Each structure stands twice: as C-alpha cells, then as structure tokens.
Amino acid sequence: MIKKLLIFLTFVSFGLSNSKAQDKTATSTEAPQAVKIYNPSANAQADIDAAVAKAKKQNKHVFVQVGGNWCVWCLRFHQLVNDTPELKQYLTNNFEVVLVNYSPENKNEVVLKKLKNPGRFGFPVFLILDGNGEVIHIQNSAYLEQGKGHSVKLITDFLKNWTYNAVNAN
C-alpha cells in the first residue's frame, strides 16, 4: 500500500513539475510585453496644463483620453487611431491630445475629480477641454463602438462636433 502511494506521489510530482516547465516554455514564446501607452508616473496635471496652453494659442481644444495599460479597449482605441491615418491626422490637426493614466499604480484621483470624475463612464473615456482647461464634454466611448469595436466614422463624427471651430461657430 505504501509502495503504491509513493509511486502515485512520484507520478503526481513529476506531472506538476513537467506542467510548470511547459508553462515557462509557453510564456517564453508569447508575444513581447504588452504595449504601454499610459505612463503611471506622468504628471497628468502638468501634461493637461501644457496641452491647454498650446491649444489656446492655436485655437484648438484638448482631447483627453483616460484609461490604463490594463484596459484592452483603451489600447485598441489607441491602435485604431494609429492605424487610420485620416483619423490620426484629424485628431492631431484639431486637438491637443493628452493621455491620462488610471491604474492601481496611479489613479490620478485629484486630477480626475477636477475633470468631473469621467471614470464613471468606464474606460477609455474621452474629455474635451477648452483653451481655459474647462471640461466642455465627457464622452462615454461605448457610444463610439459599432459591431466589435470602435467605429472610425462614429469617432470622426464625434470629433467634428467638438473642434474649436464647431463649438465657437458664428
């Protein structure tokens, strides 16, 4: 009986150590470390202040994207913008862009409270600030989705409604 138990434990032990070895192998063949677009150590308020000052001089608004590297939809949105030259150009031509981190490392609670707690809509969440740094719109990004992801058309339509010229039309 004891001999059978020892043989059983040997096989179980071997199986566990073998599965751990396989796990390490699988990890080493995975894709490189995930994309990091948000900087938890960034000074969000300083980044916003700089963008607001630049926007005011150029008659633009500030587009703030709040999210984290943990948020797959945040990363997908960022990738969509980068992969769509017309969208990226429209965004950079009409807005100063700021990424604000929200993560366990840095929730930017003081900054986000000042920005009217946009995280209540989930992540990513988008804000439009005027040239004085005032929040003029908070956008739940779910409304910019169509099918299984964000829609370039819905995003472009949203951005067109919040440019400096659209808001300040005579």
- Contacting residues for 12 by C-beta, under 8 A, at least 6 apart: none
Using pLDDT thresholds of 50, 70 and 90, give the confidence band for residue 119.
very high
d(CA 67, CA 140): 12
Spacing of C-alpha 131 from chain mean position: 23
* Statement: residue 146 has pLDDT above 60: yes
CATH of 44-167, one of 3.40.1010.10, 3.30.420.40, 3.40.30.10, 3.40.50.1100: 3.40.30.10
Using pLDDT thresholds of 50, 70 and 90, give the confidence band for residue 158.
very high
Looking at residue 33, what is its pLDDT?
A: 56
* Statement: residue 73 has pLDDT above 60: yes
d(CA 135, CA 53): 14
* Statement: residue 130 has pLDDT above 70: yes
Of the candidates 152, 158, 11, 128, the residue with the CA atom closest to the CA atom of residue 64: 128
Quote the crossing angle between the two packed helices 85-94 and 152-161, to the nearest 10°: 10
Q: Where are the domains of the chain?
A: 1-30, 44-167
Using pLDDT thresholds of 50, 70 and 90, give the confidence band for residue 17.
very low
Using pLDDT thresholds of 50, 70 and 90, give the confidence band for residue 170.
confident
Looking at residue 27, what is its pLDDT?
A: 38
